[in-house]
């Protein structure tokens, strides 16, 4: 079953059960896919790869927005919770990223390979090397934080 078919089935179920948050996030993803499809220069097909790309982009934006709402304290709690649900719900269609332990091991190995231990100015070089070789498996923000810790 394709992601599009899964989302369609999920939407039907959300409508039947009157699950507003699930309905809203699915509709938003379909809107984002439509925007991507109608963007100038799009010549591809609407397939699982496009859905994954759109979902990844959307969840990244929502994670950033959620962090801002958390900063508003109690006033932003409802919206932060809504965005946390959306990100959590959409994770099942995204490839799994490596955790902190595995990422830290890769960072340490890369620092050793590049022989830049203790050189904070080499952070960009370490991050660039990691993202080029393992970008699909890594969370960029996590890599950046760990590189700063390991070089600092």
DSSP letters spanning 34-98: HHHHTSTT--S--SHHHHHHHHHHHHHHHHHHHHHHHHTGGGGHHHHHHHHHHHHHHGGGSPPPP
- Residue 49's nearest CA partner among 37, 38, 61 is 37
Q: How confident is the model at residue 119 (pLDDT cuts 50, 70, 90)?
A: confident
What integer pLDDT is reported at residue 95 of this predicted model?
83
pLDDT tens for each residue of 137-151:
888 888 999 999 998
- State mean pLDDT over 38-51: 89
Q: How confident is the model at residue 18 (pLDDT cuts 50, 70, 90)?
A: very high
Residue with tokens 């959590």: 88
CA pair distance 111, 105, nearest whole angstrom:
10
What integer pLDDT is reported at residue 129 of this predicted model?
92
What integer pLDDT is reported at residue 146 of this predicted model?
93
- State mean pLDDT over 45-74: 93
- State mean pLDDT over 60-80: 93
Encoding tokens for residue 112?
Answer: 């050793």
What integer pLDDT is reported at residue 140 of this predicted model?
83
What integer pLDDT is reported at residue 90 of this predicted model?
96
What integer pLDDT is reported at residue 152 of this predicted model?
82
Question: Can you list the domains of the chain with their CATH numbers?
Answer: 3-93 (1.10.1510), 100-151 (1.10.10.410)
Q: Could you tell me the pTM of the whole model?
A: 0.72
Residue that wins the pLDDT comparison between 21 and 135: 21
Q: How many CB atoms lie within 10 A of CB 152?
A: 8
């Amino acid at each position: 079953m394709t992601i599009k078919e899964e989302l369609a089935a999920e939407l039907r179920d959300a409508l039947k059960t009157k699950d507003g948050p699930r309905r809203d996030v699915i509709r938003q993803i379909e809107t984002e896919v439509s925007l991507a499809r109608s963007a100038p220069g799009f010549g591809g097909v609407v397939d699982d790869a496009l859905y994954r790309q759109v979902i990844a982009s959307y969840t990244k934006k929502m994670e950033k927005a959620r962090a801002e709402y958390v900063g508003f304290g109690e006033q932003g709690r409802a919206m932060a919770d809504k965005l946390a649900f959306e990100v959590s719900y959409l994770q099942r269609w995204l490839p799994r990223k490596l955790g902190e332990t595995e990422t830290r091991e890769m960072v340490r190995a890369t620092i050793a390979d590049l022989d830049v231990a203790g050189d904070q100015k080499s952070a960009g070089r370490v991050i660039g090397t990691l993202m080029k070789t393992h970008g699909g498996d890594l969370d960029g923000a996590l890599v950046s934080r760990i590189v700063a810790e390991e070089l600092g």
